Amino acid sequence: MTNDIENAIKSHGQEQVMKFWGELSPESKDKLTAQLEGLPWNRLGELVEQYVVRRPVTDIPEDLVPAPYFPLQPADDKMAAYYCLAREEAEKILRAGKVSLLTVAGGQGTRLGYDGPKGTYPITPITGKSLFQYFAEKIYRFGQKYGVKFTWYIMTSELNNSQTIDFFKSNDFFGLDEDRVVFFVQGTMPAFDHDGKLLLAAKDSLALSPDGHGGTLLALKRCGCLDRMKREGVEYLSYFQVDNPLVSIVNPLFIGLHALEKSQMSAIMLAKTGPFEKLGNFCLSEGKLQIIEYSDLPDSLAESRNPDGSLRFIAGSPAIHVISRDFIEELTAGGYLNLPWHRADKKVAFLNDQGELVTPVEPNAVKLESFIFDALPLAARTMILEADREEEFAPTKNKTGVDSVESCKAMQIERDARRLERTGVKVRRNAGGVAEPVIELSPKFIADDADAAAYCREHHIADLSQNTEPVYIG
Ligand code: UTP
């Protein structure tokens, strides 16, 4: 261990991390040393003071107003023509291979309580395809449509990287070219106790966890992904989370508007179901777009209404973005990116002074994460587009209840049923209007409505009104 690190440990009063040093093997010493060397020592004191010892308070700017957005349905003929232009622009961009896909899959999926990377979770209602397979099939199909091979960047964390790669290997990359699926590992942050002391998870290891999806941008730079994109002529990244199988991963209107508006970072918005729905709120302050978390938006603003009774702060964020590569390059040019940290009080197992592992029953630690949406205020130009929640957003956060495996499966069935109905296929529905057969469309063949129409025509699928048995199409 270098003198610099030893001095840093002492000057920050973090000697407890060396408590078991004398007992460690050379390999264990190397491991702990590497972790300690990776810590942001030059900012550690400030981080502890600002986020751990004190509870950070989000200042709500006085001039906060709802952010404008492009509505789902164009407001007038002029806007409709602009949307057509955007779709045409996207077609050109996509055919020229200027778009790559980016999935953030480094999270711990604590709420789902599943033993494995969340992307490996079997999510489709009939065949039980994993989230990763579902996306891979969509990527394959969109590649066919636009005559390109998309490169798919998947951000993992140290906790799930090897398991994720093994999963893809053992499934032959779900038909994608192996060299078109790029895994890159996000950074970590240490957990602190409430006095700002670094916690040990083992005698030779700090308690480290992924540094949040805000870590994506710097990780892309550090892992050489930005260089690869540049070499391949990629200008735009379609960014989505691993837990939302419905997301439109190649959304021509979104990509086209992003390009026409010369936006550096764009976002999809959903109309919130109520004032306190747990989605970040798109707001403007001093002309800059920012997301205020649901927990930070004062009730008076959350509940404020327009004269027609609609919510003023209606725009919620499902964390779907298009980001320009050159914007990420600009942000990370110096090899660092200081996004603000968000504090989370969590239960973190730690080693006590006797070297015993303690599993707390109450939150005992502070974890720090950065969020991707904090890059929005750093962009010179941004753009927001409304999407249809039923068609686009079925997050899998919990096993049951709201935003769960259950609700996600039900939404997939309904979305696929509507997709069939839009092509003219009759679907049996019960008195409550719910599709009766469990339906699953394979995205390998049907990635959008046009595909559904062509597939059903070709395979003479027109009437499912008598079906109660599960219907898998693909
Ligand atoms: P969530 O905030 O929902 O976290 O992540 P999670 O880890 O999936 O689940 P919980 O909160 O522990 O239950 C939203 C998206 O951001 C990714 C996740 O993988 C998910 O796609 N993410 C989150 C990362 O890639 N890295 C992180 O450090 C955190």
Q: What is the pLDDT of residue 24?
A: 97
Asked whether the predicted pLDDT for residue 415 surpasses 80, the reply is yes
> Both tokens of residue 51?
């986020």
3-state secondary structure (DSSP) of residue 7:
helix
Q: Is 372 in the pocket of ligand 1 (CB under 6 A)?
A: no
Side-chain half-sphere of 19: how many Cα atoms within 13 Å? Answer: 19
3-state secondary structure (DSSP) of residue 8:
helix
Summarize the confidence of residues 230-248 as an average pLDDT.
98
Rounded CA separation 403/399 (Å): 8
Q: What is the DSSP letter of 68?
A: P
Q: Are strands 99-104 and 152-156 parallel, antiparallel or unpaired?
A: parallel
Q: Is 258 in the pocket of ligand 1 (CB under 6 A)?
A: no
Q: Is 241 in the pocket of ligand 1 (CB under 6 A)?
A: yes
Rounded CA separation 464/423 (Å): 12
Please state the atom number of ligand 1 nearest to the C-alpha of residue 104: 25
Side-chain half-sphere of 146: how many Cα atoms within 13 Å? Answer: 26
Token pair 């959903």: residue: 270
Q: Is 106 in the pocket of ligand 1 (CB under 6 A)?
A: yes
- Residues shown for the chain: 474
Distance in Å, CA 109 to ligand 1 centroid: 6
Q: Is 338 in the pocket of ligand 1 (CB under 6 A)?
A: no
Please state the atom number of ligand 1 nearest to the C-alpha of residue 210: 28
Summarize the confidence of residues 444-452 as an average pLDDT.
97
Q: Is 117 in the pocket of ligand 1 (CB under 6 A)?
A: no
Asked whether the predicted pLDDT for residue 428 surpasses 90, the reply is yes
Please state the atom number of ligand 1 nearest to the C-alpha of residue 212: 28
Summarize the confidence of residues 166-182 as an average pLDDT.
98
Asked whether the predicted pLDDT for residue 59 surpasses 90, the reply is no
Q: Is the pTM of the predicted complex or chain greater than 0.95? A: yes
Measured N-to-C along each axis, helices 252-260 and 77-95 cross at an angle, to the nearest 10 degrees, of 100
Rounded CA separation 410/406 (Å): 6
Mean pLDDT for the chain overall: 96
Asked whether the predicted pLDDT for residue 317 surpasses 90, the reply is yes
**If 0-12 CB within 10 Å is exposed, 13-18 middle and 19+ buried, where does residue 235 land?**
middle
Q: Is 110 in the pocket of ligand 1 (CB under 6 A)?
A: yes
Lowest-confidence pick of 121-125, 293-297, 390-394: 293-297
Summarize the confidence of residues 298-305 as an average pLDDT.
96
3-state secondary structure (DSSP) of residue 467:
coil
- Above pLDDT 90, what percent of the chain? 96
Distance in Å, CA 106 to ligand 1 centroid: 6
Asked whether the predicted pLDDT for residue 338 surpasses 90, the reply is no
Q: Is 451 in the pocket of ligand 1 (CB under 6 A)?
A: no
Q: How confident is the model at residue 1 (pLDDT cuts 50, 70, 90)?
A: confident
Q: How far does Cα 44 stand from its chain's mean position?
A: 27
Nearest to 66 by CA among 340, 370, 310: 310
- Out of 118, 183, 242, mutate this one to test ligand 1's pocket (max ligand atoms within 8 Å of CB): namely 242
Q: How confident is the model at residue 25 (pLDDT cuts 50, 70, 90)?
A: very high
Distance in Å, CA 118 to ligand 1 centroid: 9
Domains of the chain: 39-397 (3.90.550.10), 406-474 (no CATH)
- Out of 213, 242, 321, 397, mutate this one to test ligand 1's pocket (max ligand atoms within 8 Å of CB): namely 213
Q: How confident is the model at residue 197 (pLDDT cuts 50, 70, 90)?
A: very high
Q: What is the pLDDT of residue 187?
A: 95
Distance in Å, CA 79 to ligand 1 centroid: 35
- Above pLDDT 70, what percent of the chain? 100
Rg of the chain, C-alpha, whole Å: 24
Instruction: Take atom 1 of ligand 1 and give the residue whose Cα is closest.
Output: 107
Q: Are strands 357-358 and 315-317 parallel, antiparallel or unpaired?
A: unpaired
For 213, other C-beta atoms within 10 Å of its C-beta total: 22
Distance in Å, CA 230 to ligand 1 centroid: 27
Q: Is 425 in the pocket of ligand 1 (CB under 6 A)?
A: no
> Both tokens of residue 4?
């610099």
Could you report the per-residue pLDDT of 388-414, keeping only the tens digit for each? 999 999 999 999 999 999 999 999 999
Please state the atom number of ligand 1 nearest to the C-alpha of residue 241: 21
Could you report the per-residue pLDDT of 35-56, keeping only the tens digit for each? 999 999 999 999 999 999 998 8
> Both tokens of residue 134?
């579902």
Contact of 350 with 194, CB cutoff 8 Å: no
> DSSP string of 123-146?
-STTT--BHHHHHHHHHHHHHHHH
Could you report the per-residue pLDDT of 72-118, keeping only the tens digit for each? 999 999 999 999 999 999 999 999 999 999 999 999 898 999 999 99
Q: What is the pLDDT of residue 57?
A: 84
